[in-house]
Amino acid sequence: MKRREFVIKSATLAAGGMVLPYILPSGRLFARTNAPKADHVVFVMFGGGLRQQDSILQRYLADSQGYNVEGNILYNMLEGAAPASKIAYGITPSGQPNGSQPIPKILSQSLQKQGTIFQEMRAISGGHYGGWNSLITGSRVEGQGLKVRPMNPTIFEYARRFGGYKATDVWFIGNTISNSIPLLNSSKHPDFGLQYGANFFAPGITFGGDGYAALSNAKIYHPQEELEPVYKMKNFLDNTFNIKKGDMPGIRNTDDEKTQIKEFIANTFQRQSSGLLPMPPVSGGDGSTIGYAAEVLRVFKPKLLVVNLSNIDGCHSNFTGYLQAMHRADHAMGFLWNYIQTQIPEMSGKTIMTFVPECGRNLQHNPIQDENDWYGYDHGDSNSLRVFGGMVGQNVPSNLLVGNETNPVGKVTDMALTIADILGFKDEVKAAGLVDFESMSLFDRI
């Protein structure tokens, strides 16, 4: 062999040897850039606007209504004694005063004891949609319009593109179809978009009265005898039409995934009528949303599930209802974490749950008083940018508090990189250059 030929062949073999191991079965060209910290992530957007004083600072009515009553009403999430008087945050037993019975604690150890709490984080926006966008995209959302999909890629798209996940591995469960929530499962970014979007349900609609009327009587076709010819004909028609990527009206599941989701819809209606859905002991509103999220987790065991809560936003006009919604959301969070650990063996011990609201609430109240003559709170001032968050699960330091009122640590835009860090593609998200340049994985903030 000539020297020149030898050099060329050696170089080719060496290059091939370097590249080939990175072409993974998932079709990804490159291996994950950091070791995954867990196999699954559940991200609760504990939202609707959570006022720092009434939640993590545990001042109950002291910093809001002028009563010197402090205490912790989020006792599944946080350590701290419950308020001793003026109990209005619980449920309402028949004939008893409104909210007078606190909901029993679900978790034997609070999420704070089990995981890490960032006591004083900073939100990007004092509004809901900007807040959700910053949580889901990790970007600063400048120029983001209302009623349009996020400008920058969502964590779902990063997960599917860089993690190589299929559509049923990535879910967004919304509590409503209002406020543009259904638009958050994918961005309109030209390099990402719906082809990498998440499956989405708003269970209150999909499995509520509307969904029951439109979906519950659906035929379940035989997969080979009936569905296969349907999909063959549909695929032929779709190929002749050749829809453009930008025109896709929704995300796309494969034919097998579609069959799986159709079965899920049919089974959910059946399990709903039999009372078999995994609902928190005290359900309704955000609690129901969490229950359906648990059902999606049970069936699909997704790599990433994001669920949005927002009953707390009733604080604009009903402070008592806000306290109750906060307490119930804490109850639902406790239920969800307990359900993952005890009822889904494939996810138990392999999951990290994170939580943070999209924004806080104002320092000063508005003039609206509720039945207890307590004032409501809007959001939009600098106090609305004060939030707390946390994470719990595999590889998360336990019983750790990070930051405090005088030393804020963490931003809501950290969540996208944190999730990417957990699932093992943080560097690729960073390299895409579309997240807040100041954002970091919360693991790197510790």
Least CB distance to other proteins at residue 176 (A): 9
377 touches other proteins by CB under 8 A: no
CB 44 within 8 A of CB 336: yes
Cβ proximity to other proteins, 3 vs 244, nearer residue: 244
Least CB distance to other proteins at residue 28 (A): 23
Cβ proximity to other proteins, 204 vs 360, nearer residue: 204
Q: Which two tokens stand for residue 374?
A: 């307590």
Q: Of the listed pieces 202-210, 308-316, 320-328, 389-397, which binds other proteins according to CB under 8 A?
A: 202-210
Least CB distance to other proteins at residue 187 (A): 13
Least CB distance to other proteins at residue 197 (A): 6
Least CB distance to other proteins at residue 171 (A): 9
230 touches other proteins by CB under 8 A: yes
400 touches other proteins by CB under 8 A: no
33 touches other proteins by CB under 8 A: no
Least CB distance to other proteins at residue 262 (A): 6
Cβ proximity to other proteins, 146 vs 230, nearer residue: 230
408 touches other proteins by CB under 8 A: no
Q: Of the listed pieces 107-115, 137-145, 261-269, 428-436, which binds other proteins according to CB under 8 A?
A: 261-269
Cβ proximity to other proteins, 202 vs 396, nearer residue: 202
Could you give the C-alpha distances from 235 to 16, 243, 249, 251, in angstroms and in order? 36, 12, 17, 16
Applying CB under 8 A, what is the total number of residues that bind other proteins? 52
CB 290 within 8 A of CB 299: no
In the list 7, 13, 218, 276, the residue contacting other proteins (rule: CB under 8 A) is 218
293 touches other proteins by CB under 8 A: no
167 touches other proteins by CB under 8 A: yes
**Binding string to other proteins for residues 239 to 258, with x set by CB under 8 A, is what?**
-xx-x---x-xxxxx----x
Q: Which two tokens stand for residue 15?
A: 């290059």
215 touches other proteins by CB under 8 A: yes
Least CB distance to other proteins at residue 173 (A): 10
76 touches other proteins by CB under 8 A: no
Distance CA 128, CA 135 (A): 10
Q: Give contact residues for other proteins (rule: CB under 8 A).
A: 167, 172, 174, 177, 182, 185-186, 197-206, 210-211, 213-219, 221-222, 225-226, 229-234, 236-238, 240-241, 243, 247, 249-253, 258, 261-262, 265
